[in-house]
Chains A and B, each alone.
Chain A
């Protein structure tokens, strides 16, 4: 119902005004700031601010730490998106049919999503730690290792995997929820028809569920890409000062707020933003297809 009002009706504008002010001054203005400043030399300790063209971008490309964090972020994304998507589909499939206690399981499912990244980092320190971590204890009890191992901060791939697993723990609930929502919209008749034709279990999953959950998976993958591309809290807590497994987001923070080279920080932020939008659109284009029943 749209209430048609006479011309010059100001009420709707009054209602959206606070929202629009927030969006203009604390979202669009900062975004424009980032785009423009990426082409300026902005160093707080070394003014003045001057136009510098592509200088910031050249500096970034020449900076080996930034480039290695870019490669690391690529690993974070690959590991995180793959694992959270597979786990999410697996969990959603397990929760598809009603069973006793399902609402409790869904409540528990949400738990890791609700926790701050910092807290998850603390939790998983207790698992990965080299001196008292429970993983070391389990592996030793099973005689798989004879000495406690260092999982974080030595081997780059092990470090990235261990840190990303913490993030997977946190983002899989959202993937599960999004896939489950789509899964529950698939009409039962389709499974019924397939059953009569002899397709059940794995076959029904492969040929009915999997193609039909694609829109949900697409949205989930976009969310996971954005989360993994911006990973910061978990490596900050789990790996602290160590450079092994530094993410692009950590590098941007260090360049901007530790080296106080805001120009380069802006340039990096702009690249992260563009990359996020680009990947989101590509993923959405490839996986997302509207399903009509």
Chain B
């Protein structure tokens, strides 16, 4: 019993530090000057904590500050739009699949699940060429359509599984009272589905925030490039010191980190129902 407990304590401690130390380290770096970062041995805490890196990145009229501010705005526009559209459309489709009988139901469901198995490269190049044909390269609309098409199948699947598991007695009572199917959807099914809607929204937002190769291909200049693409671009320039780069990293991780820490319960339940078919 005692060794078992030691084993578990070691496992938990290892998990905790393994997960958090790289994040701690970049935060620690972002509060140091460039000279302090190069100290040997490295400083485990900032010797003289400074906000200079944050100031240099966010305040002022230089090209770098402009890029960071613009791409932060872009990533919010793209993630919020993609999440709202995905969750909205997925909840409609999931309701039809879970609660209505119609010809082709199984077939359509199968197609949706099948597209979930496509890796990135199945669609990357043709996606670019389709968007080019429609003149949607380097537009928010093009990027958002691309994200929605990528996340919609999984979102539908998570909501479908959840709605199917709901007891239908309340809805039947609603139907007896003469409510239309869309009224039942709005007033009974959606409120009961809130936990799954939260899971879907959080997971979709995080996926959208993490996108890199699709916006790298679809966004050709800073007017639509999200923060991830801009960080990769300034990292490739080598003239930008690691102190600033790590600060940009802290900016880009702050949003998903806060979401992960606050909404982890929704993430866990969504991931489980999304993967276990």
Residues of A that sit less than 8 Å from B by CB: 1-5, 9, 11-13, 15-16, 18-20, 22-23, 25-31, 33-34, 37, 90-91, 93-95, 97, 99, 103, 105-127, 129, 131-134, 137-138, 140-141, 148, 169, 173-174, 176-178, 181, 200-201, 219, 223, 226, 229-230, 232-233, 236-237, 240-241, 249, 252-253, 256-257, 262, 265-266, 268-269, 272-273, 276-277, 280
Binds A, one of B4-12, B54-62, B191-199: B4-12
Are B213 and A90 neighbours in the complex by a CB distance under 8 Å?
A: no
Q: Mark B91-123, 1 if CB is under 8 A from A, else 0.
A: 011011101111001001001100101111111
Is there an interface contact between B99 and A106, defined as CB atoms closer than 8 Å? Answer: no
> Given the complex, which residues of A lie within 8 Å of B102, measured CB to CB?
9, 12-13
Known A116-B228, A125-B242: A29·B212 in contact at CB below 8 Å? no
Nearest-CB distance from B245 to chain A (Å)? 6
Interface contact A34-B100, CB-CB below 8 Å: no
Given A15-B96, A109-B15, A178-B272, A141–B41 Cβ distance below 8 Å? yes
Give the residue name and chain of the A residue nearest to B169 (CB).
Answer: A1
Which of B37, B96, B125, B259 is close to A16, meaning CB atoms less than 8 Å apart? B96
Residues of B within 8 A of A127 (CB): 22, 25
Name the residue of chain B whose CB is nearest to the CB of A215. Answer: B276
Q: Is the interface of A mostly helix, strand, loop or mixed?
A: helix
Question: Do the beta carbons of B99 and A2 come within 8 Å of each other?
Answer: yes
Q: What B residues does A119 contact at CB under 8 A?
A: 228, 231, 249, 252-253, 256
**How far apart sit A181 and B120, CA to CA, in the bound complex (Å)?**
27
Chain B, residues 237-277, CB within 8 Å of chain A (1/0): the string is 00000100110110011001101110011011001100110
Decide if B146 touches A26 in the complex (CB within 8 Å).
Answer: yes
Inter-subunit contact A132/B242 (CB<8 Å): yes
Chain A contacts of B232 at CB under 8 A? 118, 236-237
Given contact pairs A22-B149, A107-B260, A94 touches B8 in the complex (Cβ within 8 A) = yes
B4 touching A23, Cβ below 8 Å:
no
Q: Kindly provide the distance from the CB of A250 to the nearest chain B CB, expressed in whole angstroms.
A: 10
Known contacts A126-B246, A219-B276, A269-B124: A111-B261 contact under CB 8 Å: yes
Q: Shortest CB–CB separation between residue B266 and chain A, in angstroms?
A: 10
Q: Does B69 contact A (CB under 8 A)?
A: no
- Asked whether, in the complex, the Cβ of A118 is within 8 Å of the Cβ of B268, the reply is no
Closest Cβ–Cβ distance, residue B113 to chain A (whole Å): 10
Contact B22 A169, beta carbon cutoff 8 Å? yes
In the bound complex, CA of A91 to CA of B230 (Å): 34
A246-B156 Cα distance, complex, nearest whole Å: 35
Q: Chain A residues near B29: list those with CB within 8 A.
A: 126
Q: Is the CB–CB distance between A19 and B112 below 8 Å?
A: yes
Q: Which residues of A contact B272 (CB under 8 A)?
A: 177-178, 181
Q: Chain B contacts of A257 at CB under 8 A? A: 128, 217
Determine whether the beta carbon of A273 is less than 8 Å from that of B89.
no
Residues of chain A with a CB closer than 8 A to B90's CB? 19
- Contacts A22-B152, A114-B267 aside, 11 further interface pairs with beta carbons under 8 A come to A22-B145, A23-B112, A27-B118, A31-B118, A34-B122, A94-B14, A105-B15, A108-B20, A122-B235, A127-B22, A272-B119
A11 engages B212 (CB within 8 Å): no
- How distant is the Cα of A21 from the Cα of B256 in the complex, in angstroms? 30
Contact B26 A122 (CB under 8 A): yes
Q: In the assembled complex, which residues on chain B have CB atoms less than 8 Å from the CB atom of A30?
A: 122-123, 126-127, 130
State the CA gap A207–B103 with chains docked (Å): 47
Q: Which residues of B contact A (CB under 8 A)?
A: 1, 3-4, 7-8, 10-12, 14-16, 18-20, 22-23, 25-26, 29, 37-42, 89-90, 92-93, 95-97, 99-102, 105, 108, 111-112, 115, 117-130, 145-146, 148-149, 152-153, 156, 168, 171-172, 175, 181-182, 206, 209-213, 217, 228-229, 231-232, 235-236, 242, 245-246, 248-249, 252-253, 256-257, 259-261, 264-265, 267-268, 271-272, 275-276
Interchain nearest-CB distance for B179 vs A (Å): 11
Contacts of B229 in A (CB 8 A): 118
B256 / chain A contacts, CB cutoff of 8 Å: 114-116, 119
Q: Which residue in B8, B119, B228 is a CB contact (below 8 Å) of A273? A: B119
Q: Which residue of B lies closest to A125 (CB)?
A: B242
Q: CB-nearest residue of chain B relative to A249?
A: B121
The answer on a CB contact under 8 Å between A280 and B149 is no
CA distance A119 to B169 in the complex (A): 47
Closest to B267 in A: A110
Chain B: CB-nearest residue to A181: B272
A101: min CB distance to chain B, Å: 8
Residues of B within 8 A of A11 (CB): 96, 100, 181-182
B118 contact set on A, CB distance < 8 A: 27, 31, 273
Q: Chain A residues near B171: list those with CB within 8 A.
A: 1
Can you pick out 10 interface pairs between chain A and chain B where the beta carbons lie within 8 Å of each other?
Answer: A16-B93, A22-B148, A26-B149, A99-B12, A108-B16, A110-B261, A118-B228, A120-B22, A122-B245, A178-B275
Given A23-B115, A123-B22, A230-B120, A116–B126 Cβ distance below 8 Å? no
A110, B260: Cβ atoms closer than 8 Å: yes
CA distance A116 to B25 in the complex (A): 17
Contacts of B92 in A (CB 8 A): 15-16, 18-19
Residues of B within 8 A of A18 (CB): 89, 92-93
Could you tell me the distance between the alpha carbons of A121 and B120 in the complex, rounded to whole angstroms?
A: 19
